[in-house]
Structure 1
Amino acid sequence: MTCELSETPEAARDADGPTRHARRLRLNRVPEITVYFWIIKVLCTTVGETAADLLNEKAGLGLTGVSVLMSALLAVVLVVQFRTAAYRAGVYWLAVALISVVGTLISDNLTDNTGVPLETTTTVFGVILVVVFIVWYRRERTLSIHSIDTTGRESFYWLAVLFTFALGTAAGDLVSERMDLGYWLSAVLFALVIAAVGIAHFTLGLDAVWSFWIAYVLTRPLGASIGDYLSQPTGDGGLGLGLATVVTSGPFLAVILGMVVYLTVTRKDVVETEGAARQAA
């Protein structure tokens, strides 16, 4: 699935004026949407789910302490991401992996520590994400990830990504646990919905930008359901492989690392914006 620009560069310049054009000084900060993107994204969500559970169980810091620690690590990586001159696969995907953990912890804190029902967290995170998209679009006139080439757009992008993970965690738990579908059936359900979005995009003309973001949200509960299915006890509907990183997260981390190294070397997911290409010329 490829995400297209929702407006032409000329229209963006007319709407934004020379000030906005002058700020577009960087290359695109996110990868091209390829099959590699979706594979790594799903694996990151799976690792995020199992890693959050592992840290909560083994770190001895409690859910709140782990949340503070991982949020601090995420903040450091995002500072590095914002300071890079262009998209770098290693930094970008490390940020995604960490934001997957933090998004999971945010949802778990609200549910486990404060007792907020999953129905409420799912609704609230959904509303917040919609608000982020509305403000982002009103300010930038596009939600396309092909034009994440200013600090403002990148800020909106990562804010949206954070709440897609929080929303996906809450929605996944709501479907698999509260609605009692189980982890395996939940994973199949989310996979089918993602496939339906892809079919609607490629055959029915569903807008590319919205197709991307809908699929992006749904890959979170898909990956989380897969992670829970592998790690949770058999009595709870899982395979009982445990929370040990070597069993559940290790193979996924190895695949993520291998693919990120491959993309770093081949640059198959690097895309330049029209404005940055003109400046480089």
Structure 2
Amino acid sequence: MTQVSGVASASGNPRISLPSTRAHNRVPAVTTEFWLIKLMAVTMGETAADFLAVNLGLGLTATSLLMAAILGIALTTQFRQHRYVPWSYWLAVVLISIVGTLVTDNLVDNFGVSLMATTIFFTSALAATFAVWFAYEKTLSIHSIFTTRREAFYWLAILFTFALGTAAGDLVAEHFGLGYMATGILFGMIIASITFGYYVLKLDGIWAFWIAYIFTRPLGASFGDLLSQPADYGGLGLGTILTSAIFLAVIIGIVAWISMSHRGEETLAER
């Protein structure tokens, strides 16, 4: 938004000030609500993907194509906002969480790629995304996403974090046999150490954010599986429908609250 203001000089003639250009950050500020919704979204991403593919009988391939199409519509809507709009942003996050889960599941179940290879692949893909993003923009800050190119890099990185988190979580829980509870505790401890590093050891905020963002995915997915899977598989047996419904209701409630309170909005000078 450009503002031009006139100020009267001593001679009575207006003095025109230079334009002041401001931009709205298209993604939310990192708050407690941000991490809470993100954790709920990744948990729901795991259970909703299982519900659609297994319980509804759509199958992995059909579910993946359907959800990818819906995600495309959601991201188109998000890119048109040019600012942070809670319902649009978090809808995209929930959907990209589901699609990220399905991408990894497809590689493992349909194409026979090992969880170790999948984890390494998405680690490399995310690192490459960060490298290209930084090469073009000279920053990876999530506090200055005010152009379409920066937002495109942001969402691509988000997709890879979800796919990577799914692969890493399954690798630890299933391949290494730790189980859902132990895996959730392990990744929770990693996030706690990152939090300690940021607040006490002054770890760089951008890298602390992205590392924590990656590890909240397997943390949420582990507890989602713990709640939804049958007792025979180490879960509590709530089922994917009830688990998904609970987390979706919580997400909707928090998003409605932050929409009314305007929490998470950031305005910044373009640079």
- TM-score after normalising by structure 2: 0.91
RMSD value, Cα: 1.2
Alignment check: 8 A CA contact 1:25 1:149 kept: no
Q: Which protein has the larger Cα radius of gyration, Structure 1 or Structure 2?
A: 2
Greater helix content: 1
Match for residue 263 of structure 1 among 246, 254, 258:
258
Superimposed CA distance per residue, residues 56-104 of structure 1 (whole angstroms, 9 cap, x where no aligned partner): 0133331011100000000001000000131100000000000000000
2:247 corresponds to which letter in structure 1? F
Inter-partner Cα distance in structure 2 for 1:25 and 1:178: 50
1:274 aligns with 2:252: no
SS at match of 2:243: coil
Inter-partner Cα distance in structure 1 for 2:53 and 2:208: 34
Inter-partner Cα distance in structure 2 for 1:25 and 1:263: 22
1:258 corresponds to which letter in structure 2? G
Aligned counterpart, 1:47:
44
2:265 corresponds to which letter in structure 1? V
1:190 aligns with 2:187: yes
Aligned counterpart, 2:121:
124
Bigger drift between 156-165 and 84-93 goes to 84-93
Superimposed CA distance per residue, residues 23-61 of structure 1 (whole angstroms, 9 cap, x where no aligned partner): x97411000100000000000000000000000013333
SS at match of 1:145: coil
Aligned counterpart, 2:59:
62
Inter-partner Cα distance in structure 1 for 2:24 and 2:239: 42
Inter-partner Cα distance in structure 2 for 1:25 and 1:135: 26
Match for residue 142 of structure 1 among 135, 139, 142:
139
Aligned counterpart, 2:106:
109
Alignment check: 8 A CA contact 1:46 1:223 kept: yes
Q: Following superposition, which runs of at least 4 residues in structure 1 exceed 4 angstroms of deviation?
A: none
- TM-score after normalising by structure 1: 0.87
Share of identical aligned residues, percent? 54
Match for residue 95 of structure 2 among 98, 115, 118:
98
Offset at residue 235 of structure 1 (A): 1.5
Inter-partner Cα distance in structure 2 for 1:207 and 1:25: 26
Unaligned runs of 5+ in 2: 1-20
SS at match of 1:127: helix
Aligned counterpart, 1:225:
222
Aligned counterpart, 2:161:
164
1:159 corresponds to which letter in structure 2? L
Unaligned runs of 5+ in 1: 1-23, 277-281
Inter-partner Cα distance in structure 2 for 1:31 and 1:136: 19
With over 3 angstroms needed to count, the CA separation of the structure-2 counterparts of 1:192 and 1:39, relative to structure 1, is same
Superimposed CA distance per residue, residues 91-140 of structure 1 (whole angstroms, 9 cap, x where no aligned partner): 00000000000000000001111111000000000000000001001110
1:234 aligns with 2:250: no
SS at match of 1:44: helix
Alignment check: 8 A CA contact 2:188 2:219 kept: yes
Inter-partner Cα distance in structure 2 for 1:175 and 1:56: 23
Inter-partner Cα distance in structure 1 for 2:69 and 2:254: 26
1:224 corresponds to which letter in structure 2? A
Inter-partner Cα distance in structure 2 for 1:217 and 1:99: 14
